[in-house]
């Protein structure tokens, strides 16, 4: 019984951590995108440094303009559609985590 409780508690904290990370990424994506300007120049550079091609960047810009801003779910669903996009997403996650660590 105690083991079951420990397992449930562990997964609760893990789920909360993932939810918090997603919220932080939502805040980040919202801060680098808008209806008026699409994607911020620093986010474009970040995407380019992760190997995103021009069509990927332009598609994300169009999504930011049409949605009002980007969020973690939108970026993930778009980039996970292809193997190339998954590589960009992996790099992007790592770089955003590094930026968050510097801010803390």
Provide DSSP, 21-87: HHHHHHHHHHHTEETTTEE-HHHHHHHHHTT--HHHHHHHHHHHHHHSS--HHHHHHHHTTSHHHHH
Does the pLDDT value for residue 48 go beyond 80? yes
pLDDT, tens digit (0-9, with 9 covering 90-100), for 5-46: 444 434 444 443 434 455 577 777 777 776 566 788 888 889
Domain boundaries along the sequence of the chain:
2-103
Confidence bin at 2 (pLDDT 50/70/90): low
Task: Please tell me the predicted confidence (pLDDT) of residue 1.
Answer: 55
pLDDT, tens digit (0-9, with 9 covering 90-100), for 66-100: 888 888 888 999 999 999 999 999 999 998 888 77
């Amino acid at each position: 019984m105690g083991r079951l409780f420990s397992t449930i508690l562990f997964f609760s904290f893990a789920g909360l951590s993932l939810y918090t990370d997603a919220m932080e990424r939502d805040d980040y994506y919202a801060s680098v995108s808008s209806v008026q300007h699409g994607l911020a120049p620093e986010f474009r550079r970040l995407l380019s440094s992760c190997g995103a091609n021009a069509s990927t960047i332009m598609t994300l810009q169009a999504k930011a303009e049409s949605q009002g801003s980007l969020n973690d779910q939108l970026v993930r669903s778009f980039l996970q559609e292809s193997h190339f996009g998954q590589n960009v997403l992996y790099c992007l996650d790592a770089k955003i985590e590094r930026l968050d660590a510097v801010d803390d």
